[in-house]
Amino acid sequence: MLITANEISTFLGGEVVGDPEVQVHAPSKIEEGKEGTISFLANPKYEPYAYSTEASILLVEKSFQPTQSISSTLIKVDDVYASIGLLLDKFKGAQDTSFQISSMAVISDSATFSDKVSIGEFTVIKEDVNIGDNTVIHAQVNIGRNCTIGQNCLIYPNVVIYPNAVIGNNCIIHAGAVIGSDGFGYSKDDAGKYTKIQHVGNVILEDDVEIGANTVIDRATMGSTIIRRGVKLDNLIQIAHNVELGEDTALAAQAGIAGSTKIGKGVMIGGQVGIAGHKEIADFVQIQGKSGVISSIKEVGKRLFGYPALDYKEFLRAFASMKKVPALIKRINALEKQLAEQKDQDKQENKSKE
């Protein structure tokens, strides 16, 4: 796809500074920009690259004032990150291929979908599956019986979707993700033997959800594990049975949420965070990476850090005090030594007086 600076500026609602007819065919990082590409400057620490990049077009904030000459044509916009997101969507859309159903896919006769669906090689689609228009399913995906997949979804290779799952519109599921596996539920008898508790519920992904690679979402014991609209999950995340994630909540890699926990909307959870089961987390809570949450959080917007997780500022104060402990111990030891020496000295003086 070739597109001019003027066309990009019109699309983004920006302002061209330089040659409005210069053309680009692909995006690039600012430090690796070549002729014919468009890059962006959003972080001030990358500004030096703005003066050396070979990118033909550079997206910048409207407030940007160069301190050196720049060879690139500038497009000034209100929000660089939002603009580059729109632009990447445009480039990706130009690369989309026509819809095709591979002859090597195994598809049940009772599955329903239109000719506006792509299904890749060696994908297996079981009975009574319904797939919405403009959905792309890559190779080696396994979709269990009675699943519903909405419109405009993108499912990457080796995804497994267990029976009865409901996937909304505009969802993205990355390679190796598993939707609807058994929850980790067992009963234990007096002899210590485990008996599996069957999970007969399902998983529901609402619209605009994105699931990272190798992330696993367990189906409910009964009822549904629910991922609400707009949730974004990174790679390698574990969501246990009967968990509910609120709208626009985001989890970074290797986070884990135990069974039946309810997470509010707009919550931000850092990497490797662990949250205990049967807890409730209020809306807009922020949990720093590697924290452990072992009790419910009722305060909206609270920020947490540490293990067990504390109020963010309280944790920083505690950590600052903890760093002073070695010096404090050293001072105490020195004082104890001084007192012991003084005691010995007093004893010697008392003996001499006798």
pLDDT value of position 306? 85
Residue indicated by tokens 């796809």 = 1
Indicate whether 44 pLDDT > 80. yes
pLDDT value of position 95? 58
pLDDT value of position 177? 98
CA dist 209 and 169 (Å) reads 8
pLDDT digits (tens, 9 = 90+) for 22-38: 999 999 999 999 999 99
pLDDT value of position 354? 62
User: How sure is the predictor about 348, in pLDDT bands with cuts at 50, 70 and 90?
Assistant: confident
User: Mean pLDDT score of the chain, rounded to an integer?
Assistant: 93
- The DSSP bridge pattern shows strands 26-27 and 310-311 to be unpaired
Question: Averaged over 312-338, what is the pLDDT?
Answer: 81
CA dist 59 and 39 (Å) reads 6
The architecture of the domain spanning 159-311 is 3 Solenoid (2.160)
Indicate whether 228 pLDDT > 80. yes
Helix (H, G, I), strand (E, B) or coil at 90: helix
User: How sure is the predictor about 94, in pLDDT bands with cuts at 50, 70 and 90?
Assistant: low
pTM: 0.78
The percentage of residues in the chain with a pLDDT greater than 70, rounded to a whole number, is 98
CA dist 272 and 255 (Å) reads 4
The set of catalytic residues is 241
Q: Helices (DSSP H) in the chain: which residue ranges?
A: 5-12, 47-50, 80-95, 312-323, 325-353
Phi-psi region at 176: left, alpha or beta (left = phi > 0; alpha = psi -120 to 50):
left
Helix (H, G, I), strand (E, B) or coil at 31: helix
Task: Report the half-sphere exposure of 82 (CA within 13 A, side-chain side).
Answer: 9
Residue 138 · residue 160 · CB < 8 Å: no
Question: Averaged over 52-75, what is the pLDDT?
Answer: 96
Domain ranges of the chain: 3-95, 159-311, 324-354
E strands of 138-253, at which residues? 142-143, 148-149, 154-155, 160-161, 166-167, 172-173, 178-181, 186-188, 194-196, 202-205, 210-211, 216-218, 224-227, 232-233, 238-239, 244-245, 250-251
Residue 290 · residue 308 · CB < 8 Å: no
CA dist 153 and 138 (Å) reads 11
Residues 6+ apart with CB under 8 A from 257: 238, 239, 240, 243, 245, 251, 263, 275
- The DSSP bridge pattern shows strands 232-233 and 210-211 to be parallel
pLDDT digits (tens, 9 = 90+) for 107-165: 999 999 999 999 999 999 999 999 999 999 999 999 999 999 999 999 999 999 999 99
Question: Averaged over 15-27, what is the pLDDT?
Answer: 95
pLDDT digits (tens, 9 = 90+) for 204-222: 999 999 999 999 999 999 9
Indicate whether 296 pLDDT > 70. yes
Residue 279 · residue 261 · CB < 8 Å: yes
pLDDT value of position 321? 78
pLDDT digits (tens, 9 = 90+) for 175-201: 999 999 999 999 999 999 999 999 999
CA dist 167 and 224 (Å) reads 12
pLDDT value of position 124? 98
Fold (CATH) for 3-95: 3.40.1390
Indicate whether 97 pLDDT > 70. no
User: How sure is the predictor about 325, in pLDDT bands with cuts at 50, 70 and 90?
Assistant: confident
Task: With residue 137 as reference, give the H or E element that holds it.
Answer: strand 135-137
CA dist 346 and 166 (Å) reads 83
User: How sure is the predictor about 353, in pLDDT bands with cuts at 50, 70 and 90?
Assistant: low
Q: Which amino acid is at 233?
A: L
Taking the CB of residue 226, how many other CB atoms lie within 10 A of it? 20
188 secondary structure, DSSP code: E
Indicate whether 226 pLDDT > 80. yes
Lowest mean pLDDT among 33-47, 142-156, 319-333: 319-333
The percentage of residues in the chain with a pLDDT greater than 90, rounded to a whole number, is 81
pLDDT value of position 316? 77
